Structure 1
């Protein structure tokens, strides 16, 4: 039977186990959870994001599908998960037989077990020389520490200094799932080891889908980096790549090296191949350099630089393609644009946030593109998005207990070949704001918004605008009621620059002063309700909102940044239907609305329905464009949500205009979760004289490993006449994902309309991830999280 004894006389503390510790290829940070699963990496991916979330967070790399492997069969739970007490701990020894006849050489045999703190050594036979600190372990050698499991047939070396050689090695790095085999392993010291004629993989040791074998592999625990010399990558035993030298991570720390390549194709740029290289420059800044080869365009150099300091953080992106020989052709029927072949193409994006003394900060977001065709030509690889305008700004911002302020500028740049500079928004060059929110006493509140802007644009009226809007509010409320009266006074003044007369304005300094009075009131009734076997609290919330704004003639004021906002339910309770300060609507209105909700026992809203309308007592004389109207009421607005379980959600809205006796808006949206990794979405959107579309998207799990992706967005109306015609596909997307223990593959194809003329483009993208060999390029995943509601 094994015997338990006190430490052997003169034996260095756990001499044999300390030597074996040098085999560890990663810092001892893995935390054992249970037998066969000591690594936290095996935990399932994060919980699914709530239904209705527009953009879900990315899924972390998961090893949840890895099988419990045979190498971990000797894992011993319960050992410490750190190395802090190793130097002062005593050694506990078990063996069937112990022989130390000469008091110098100790021989242990028969289920030998030596443990000191987090280190555990087991073997059939161990010999140790107390004078030279030489050791020799034979037969079923097994070693465990907080970050490593290792087995060998034979191991010898010394503990002072620490050095050893092991034969026929199997090893497992618990903190990174790295594992492999080696003919021999040389233990240099506690932090460094060298494996000769070795393999490495993060797959299950008995099912290595991918691995590389190398002449030598060096593990450096200090830097968290492994180095392989003369390595061959294999997929299911088939070699596909030779690398004379490369590095890879052995823990979760960042490291420099190549990321996974990306392969794609698009109609405008041809075949694309990118090979990113990551530079871990310092703990607080890094960079990624990405050469991209386009078969129809040439070679583009792209890069990203990130930094984080005590007072600021930011990012710089750039892309540059010299001498584009096809710049003059947009590849849609060889249509010509105003670029010359051989033009240099580039894009720059810079963002920064810097904290300043006190409660001040400075934010910058600058974007610039070489030409307005850049995103049309190079956004087709699924990883870039384009709109019609690039917005740049820089602002100094501050805030206190009752105030906030800002000073900066906004600039706009066209990236649409049909949008001329005259159609761009005005530059706000500069813009300043100052806002107050001061409680005068327990009931009376004073607030004030102030804005001063200089508007600049070529070939248009230019000028400066000051907008001041002080308000007093005195809310009253109880447990089931509220009344919130508010009175304000809005002053807006202009200073137009010389030349304003040629644009039809007759006054250099027009002004507008107008009082604004509103009263918001409501009641809240509650009752118990039982539906479908569940208990709910049902509310009934009638609401009245009165608004009075006298009419002011504003026809002599320019429209710098004002648009009429889209009418929806929340527009029933606002003081102005225009954005910006150039127009303030007149009003003598009363809004009547009612809302009913179902709340579960946890207070979560499971269903709601709202209905309301504005009644007009005076004509609506202030208009941004067109003549005044004299309607007796606004459109009837209804909206509702139904979410009785966490598996599905239904949303709907509807607007019917009694003045035109037609539907203005109608939408229906449905979302259903399929298991833990799937989702299906359907939406129908109608807006009179603007669009009628339906959109279907899904992530369908075929199994734990395979998922199908799809989206189909279809327009049912002709863009010019708004008549029903042949449905036109706006975007069609199809893809497939494969995720296994150590390999993930994503293939996505996309067909989409990329301009208002209806021109279409096709793109395809393939990404492969070998888990544990470096960061995965998440660009296709970023696109899918924006394209498919609920994708994760």
Structure 2
């Protein structure tokens, strides 16, 4: 058959159209010429000519001077010839890209590319990557896996940094990673990290999934190591070693082992040049048994720390054993029993020892559509076996009653139908007076007089300090909710505690005098369209002053156009934060994040940068300034080229940007 004039053929296997198509039924061959269009379940082609032959159940195709498109992967390009025998596809004189059709801002060219579905391999000869028409990479031979992971070089990373030592400014860093796909359940990443001021750091990271067997369900193992044989500045060996083992021993038992160590406390500041906000590296063992049906949990936890970045030592649990059991009865009656024994260690303090704490909580929440009433009783006893002091103990109880009344009405504001809720809240808390000055303070700290904190009846976190209480707390909550969407536009809260007696306990455990009332805890949260405002404060009615305040205001139109201002003041330290991004043009935007201490005029963190983003690639330049101590700052500048769908020259940059500039999305796939 000879078909001419805007011909279109449809079959179960493919679609073919052309100016002219010749069909030979004896050989099951179709030959197309002129404005050829071909599509099967994988590819779309446009070309000058095509030969399609069916052998048994396999369709063989040969297309010339074609443009192609993979709808699933968005890959498109052109080739002088494409041959598909049902198993492999061979592209001659080919170029392809993940940019939109008609756009070649970046493209990969090769003399020949072979895609074999049986071996799951792609092979390319004489590969050149062009960016804006300029060759940026060449490889005589390149192989990769079509689906899943494959071994090979990853995109290199580039950056600059300043050393704090004299004469060591404006240094550069180059990272060249190579990925080994060892097996479906394991891989290895080898990286050469070249620091101009320090030398060559060899980095390796091995990961493995642990298959289940008769001893365990499944698990994961990971180990990472860095090694610098001789630092060009200090002449010391520098190294890092991190390892993690997570095991599911059965459906109720989990085991986690983590070990983190570096050669010295300045390793992250001087070698990795990443985030230096951590003050310690923690290693731990965590064994947890949880039976949800029996409401039973048993845990063993042990940890130690290595100080880094001029950090100070804290108490570590070495080890801690805990057990808890919950009972639920009729009419929502609840009993929670727990026992925790902790051996507290410290690198510098002599106040160490074993603390054993047992407690029982009894409660019975009563809730209706109109009100809720929650009585609770807590009984506890704590024993201290101290290393350098006499043993101590404390037994104490507390009682509380929390009540709420639920009211609501329909209202209309700014052209919107709203539901206003009004929730008066009254709570009573009682805990007897006990001088606890002889007890150490391993994990207790002052609570802020926040709204929920006032209703808890306790002014300390942790176990070592249980403050006395004999007070009433009165609060009021009100929300304005969109009747149609359910969005909360305005949320208001206010609460104050009135004390029946004038005795209090300070952080050292000593009973002291106090006034009859607390600060007033107030909060107001507003959310309307793209604008949000959050303000929480503690107002002192005696001095008519605000003791503490946390305020923030945000305008967020999209991840490229937003502004957030925040201010914190606790009457000791004042700080301010500014985060934002602004588009200069449709493709170019700037971003910044600043955290500054107003009290001592120190910039804690500062991030500034500029980015150009096209449809399928991006350029970013980001500068990070981090306060270390005194007048010592860490400066790092990172440059990133992103070829969407292919590679990025700085894989960790977008994660750091999203941490340092909240509400900013750096990953092109997320935006």
TM-score, normalised to structure 1, is 0.76
Separation in 1 of the partners of 2:508 and 2:119?
Answer: 65
Separation in 1 of the partners of 2:541 and 2:631?
Answer: 34
1:588–1:737 Cα change, 3 Å:
same
Give yes or no for contact 2:317–2:344 (8 Å, CA) kept in 1. yes
Which is richer in strand?
A: 2
Residue deviations 1:10-61 (CA, integer Å, cap 9, x gap) = xxxxxxxxxxxxxxxxxxxxxxxxxxxxxxxxxxxxxxxxxxxxxxxxxxxx
Which residues in structure 2 correspond to 1:512-523 (within 5 Å)?
A: 512-523=394-405
Q: CA deviation at 1:778?
A: 3.9
Which residues in structure 2 correspond to 1:394-409 (within 5 Å)?
A: 394-399=285-290, 400-409=292-301
Q: CA deviation at 1:230?
A: 0.9
**SS of equivalent to 2:341:** strand
Q: CA deviation at 1:638?
A: 1.0
The alignment covers a number of residue pairs equal to 648
Q: Work out which of the residue numbers 733, 749, 757 in structure 1 matches 2:623.
A: 749
Which residues in structure 2 correspond to 1:204-243 (within 5 Å)?
A: 204-222=100-118, 225-243=121-139
Give yes or no for contact 2:559–2:664 (8 Å, CA) kept in 1. no
1:201–1:618 Cα change, 3 Å:
same
Q: CA deviation at 1:143?
A: 0.8
Separation in 2 of the partners of 1:765 and 1:545?
Answer: 54
2:158 paired residue number: 263
Q: CA deviation at 1:389?
A: 1.9
Residue deviations 1:181-213 (CA, integer Å, cap 9, x gap) = 2223333x2131212222122224433111122
Q: CA deviation at 1:130?
A: 4.8
Higher relative contact order (CA 8 A, sep 6+): 1
2:10 paired residue number: 115
1:576–1:367 Cα change, 3 Å:
farther
2:597 paired residue number: 715
1:169 paired residue number: 66
1:193–1:475 Cα change, 3 Å:
closer
2:229 paired with 1:348: no
**SS of equivalent to 1:442:** helix
Separation in 2 of the partners of 1:780 and 1:228?
Answer: 30
1:275–1:417 Cα change, 3 Å:
closer
2:44 paired with 1:149: yes
Which residues in structure 2 correspond to 1:579-594 (within 5 Å)?
A: 579-594=461-476
Separation in 1 of the partners of 2:558 and 2:345?
Answer: 54
Q: Work out which of the residue numbers 365, 375, 391 in structure 2 matches 1:475.
A: 365
Residue deviations 1:417-455 (CA, integer Å, cap 9, x gap) = 544xxx522331221222222122214321223211122
Q: CA deviation at 1:467?
A: 0.6
Give yes or no for contact 1:705–1:739 (8 Å, CA) kept in 2. yes
Which residues in structure 2 correspond to 1:243-262 (within 5 Å)?
A: 243-247=139-143, 253-262=148-157
**SS of equivalent to 1:539:** strand
Q: CA deviation at 1:131?
A: 4.8
1:233–1:736 Cα change, 3 Å:
same
2:522 paired residue number: 638
Q: Which blocks of at least 5 consecutive residues in structure 2 are unaligned?
A: 666-671
1:692 paired residue number: 574
2:103 paired with 1:202: no
Separation in 1 of the partners of 2:128 and 2:200?
Answer: 28
1:151–1:707 Cα change, 3 Å:
same
Separation in 2 of the partners of 1:612 and 1:575?
Answer: 13
2:76 paired with 1:179: yes
Give yes or no for contact 2:218–2:249 (8 Å, CA) kept in 1. no
Give yes or no for contact 1:260–1:768 (8 Å, CA) kept in 2. no
1:314–1:656 Cα change, 3 Å:
farther
Which residues in structure 2 correspond to 1:372-383 (within 5 Å)?
A: 372-381=265-274
Q: Work out which of the residue numbers 218, 222, 231 in structure 2 matches 1:316.
A: 222
**SS of equivalent to 2:659:** helix
TM-score, normalised to structure 2, is 0.89
Separation in 1 of the partners of 2:407 and 2:236?
Answer: 71
Give yes or no for contact 1:543–1:593 (8 Å, CA) kept in 2. yes
Q: CA deviation at 1:642?
A: 0.5
Give yes or no for contact 1:366–1:392 (8 Å, CA) kept in 2. yes
Separation in 2 of the partners of 1:708 and 1:398?
Answer: 49
1:118–1:407 Cα change, 3 Å:
same
1:781 paired residue number: 654
Give yes or no for contact 1:292–1:301 (8 Å, CA) kept in 2. yes
Once the two structures are overlaid, the 10-residue window that deviates more, 696-705 or 206-215, is 696-705
2:668 paired residue number: none
Which one has the largest radius of gyration? 1
2:338 paired with 1:449: yes
Q: CA deviation at 1:120?
A: 0.7
Q: CA deviation at 1:677?
A: 4.1
Give yes or no for contact 1:178–1:772 (8 Å, CA) kept in 2. no
**SS of equivalent to 1:584:** coil
2:669 paired residue number: none
Give yes or no for contact 2:108–2:128 (8 Å, CA) kept in 1. yes
Separation in 2 of the partners of 1:207 and 1:472?
Answer: 68
1:462 paired residue number: 352
Q: Work out which of the residue numbers 596, 599, 606 in structure 1 matches 2:489.
A: 606
1:402–1:671 Cα change, 3 Å:
farther
**SS of equivalent to 2:197:** coil
Q: CA deviation at 1:469?
A: 1.0
Residue deviations 1:589-628 (CA, integer Å, cap 9, x gap) = 2212211211111433221111112222334443333854
Separation in 1 of the partners of 2:45 and 2:309?
Answer: 63
Give yes or no for contact 1:197–1:214 (8 Å, CA) kept in 2. yes
Q: Which blocks of at least 5 consecutive residues in structure 1 are unaligned?
A: 1-97, 99-106, 329-340, 719-726
**SS of equivalent to 1:578:** coil
Separation in 2 of the partners of 1:264 and 1:536?
Answer: 53
Give yes or no for contact 2:276–2:309 (8 Å, CA) kept in 1. no
State the superposition RMSD in angstroms: 2.7
1:438–1:765 Cα change, 3 Å:
same
Q: CA deviation at 1:697?
A: 1.0
